[in-house]
């Protein structure tokens, strides 16, 4: 099948690669000429494990190409995937301008029947909006259908998640159209759910909002654990064994970030508000998430004597999660910003995300490894749980630091072991030595 993918971000690039790897002819289109040129040279605009190899193989085999000519790509295709960004506006609504622009461009190039598949994360009703835009702007009176096919990939494991999804959701106006998209996914042999378009759009938002709720819930429980002397890791284990709850996303820490959970939770709350429903639970989830880094900074400030002025802080981890270089809504941005505002000196290290962070904080010190970040630090802060940080020689870390104090925002270390080594160790939801 001939496929056009509009947008070469995480979703678009991975979607295009996987469909080409399944034997389809795919053209990935982007209006950013520099990004298209980069991809044509075999250079990846994003970091995602396994992506570069997948692109290389399918380009060499002639199934995958990149272009800035959206009209030609649409005319050549049977199915057009819209995979553009929907970043949040100040009021919490998603910015739909990129989706609208894509729909207008599709309309002007429409030359025969096509299925338009919206894979961007969008509010309920977007399918109708896209259909109306195309109907108004098409130059030829040819038929088309609009389908919702939300993605559920996670950055850092996007290829695996696309090849082995828990479920494939196809929101279509009729069974005939649904079967055309189902045919594309058939080689994956995964569970498929066919719904109406509105339900498919809601499934995406509801799924992400529920996972965000699990994270904020367990962070709230962790805050209580700190007060009463309980261990959140034991609590999580005890809860996770219950098959009705499950352990996934019950990880206490600094809260959720990235391109999906903050944006999608806010967008669902706004959708509810527009339709006259006060989504109090989801609003509370977002409040807890906003408060979590503030609580962490308050504890740090108290531990260093009430002020960060003149303190050297080593920061390990910058990306919002491991195995990605994505800095969108990364907790490091908020924490580093607060530390700088109070006069701290920052030394930092991340295996992948330092180039992206330099665009945000050009003034801080970027080191070659975790040990350099710890050298002469008054406090070492763990923000992203990269595996290499779990395997550090902590005795060496202690000798390098000015003061052996660690604030672990992801609970990657054993408090007993670190305290035996002589560290003052603070984490999330686990009792201090004094409480023990």
Residues contacting residue 368 through CB under 8 Å, at least 6 positions apart: 349
The β-bridge partners of 347 are 314, 365
Closest CA to 203 of 234, 176, 229, 170: 170
Question: What is the residue-wise DSSP string for 168-197?
Answer: EEEE-SSHHHHHHHHHHHGGG---EEEE-H
Q: What is the DSSP string of 69-117?
A: -HHHHHHH-SEEEE----PBPTTS-B--HHHHHHHHHHHHH--S-EEEE
**Residue appearing with tokens 């009792």:** 431
| CA 420, 424, 427, 432 torsion-angle sign | positive
Instruction: Check if the beta carbon of residue 48 is closer than 8 Å to that of residue 8.
Output: no
Please tell me the distance from the alpha carbon of residue 115 to that of residue 43, in angstroms, as a whole number: 30
Sign of the CA dihedral running 234, 255, 291, 124: negative
Cα 104 to chain center, whole Å? 28
| 83: number of Cβ within 10 Å | 27
Sign of the alpha-carbon dihedral angle for 181, 183, 185, 189: positive
- Residue 144's closest CA among 125, 127, 120, 169? 127
166 φ, ψ (degrees, to nearest 5): -60, -40
Catalytic residues: 260
Q: Residue 348 is inside which H or E element, if any?
A: strand 345-349
């Amino acid at each position: 099948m001939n496929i056009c993918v509009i947008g070469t971000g995480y979703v678009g690039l991975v979607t295009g690669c996987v469909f080409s790897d399944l034997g389809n002819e795919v053209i990935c289109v982007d209006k950013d000429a520099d990004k298209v040129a980069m991809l044509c040279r075999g250079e990846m605009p994003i970091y995602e494990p396994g992506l570069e190899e997948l692109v290389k193989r399918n380009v060499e085999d002639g199934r995958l190409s990149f272009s800035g000519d959206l009209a030609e790509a649409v005319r050549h295709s049977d199915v057009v995937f819209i995979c553009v960004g929907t970043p949040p506006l100040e009021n919490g609504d998603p910015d739909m301008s990129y989706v609208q622009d894509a729909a207008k461009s599709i309309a002007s190039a429409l030359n025969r029947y096509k299925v338009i598949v919206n894979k961007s994360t969008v509010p309920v009703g977007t399918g109708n909006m896209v259909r109306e835009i195309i109907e108004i702007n098409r130059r030829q009176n040819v038929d088309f259908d609009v389908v919702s096919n939300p993605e559920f990939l996670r950055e850092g494991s996007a290829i695996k998640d696309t090849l082995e999804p828990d479920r494939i959701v196809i929101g279509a106006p009729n069974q005939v159209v649904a079967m055309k998209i189902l045919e594309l996914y058939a080689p994956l042999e995964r569970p498929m759910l066919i719904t109406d378009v509105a339900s498919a759009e809601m499934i995406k938002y509801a799924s992400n909002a529920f996972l965000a709720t699990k994270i904020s819930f367990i962070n709230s429980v962790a805050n209580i654990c700190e007060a009463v002397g309980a261990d959140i890791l034991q609590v999580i284990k005890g809860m996770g064994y219950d098959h009705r709850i499950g352990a996934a996303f019950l990880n206490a820490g600094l809260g959720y970030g990235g391109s999906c959970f903050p944006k999608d939770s806010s967008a669902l709350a706004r959708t509810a508000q527009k339709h006259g429903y006060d989504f109090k639970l989801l609003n509370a989830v977002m409040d807890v998430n906003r408060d979590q880094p503030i609580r962490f900074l308050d504890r740090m400030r108290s531990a260093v004597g009430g002020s960060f002025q003149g303190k050297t802080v080593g920061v390990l981890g910058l990306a919002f999660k491991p195995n990605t270089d994505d800095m969108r809504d990364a907790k490091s941005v908020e924490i580093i910003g607060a530390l700088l505002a109070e006069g701290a000196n920052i030394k930092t290290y991340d295996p992948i995300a330092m180039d992206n962070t330099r665009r945000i904080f050009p003034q801080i010190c970027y080191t070659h490894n975790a040990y350099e970040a710890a050298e002469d630090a008054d406090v070492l802060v763990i923000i992203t749980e990269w595996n290499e940080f779990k395997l550090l020689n902590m005795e060496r870390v202690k000798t390098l630091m000015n003061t052996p104090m660690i604030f672990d925002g992801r609970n990657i270390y054993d408090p007993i072991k670190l305290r035996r080594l002589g560290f003052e160790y603070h984490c999330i939801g686990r009792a201090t030595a004094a409480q023990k």
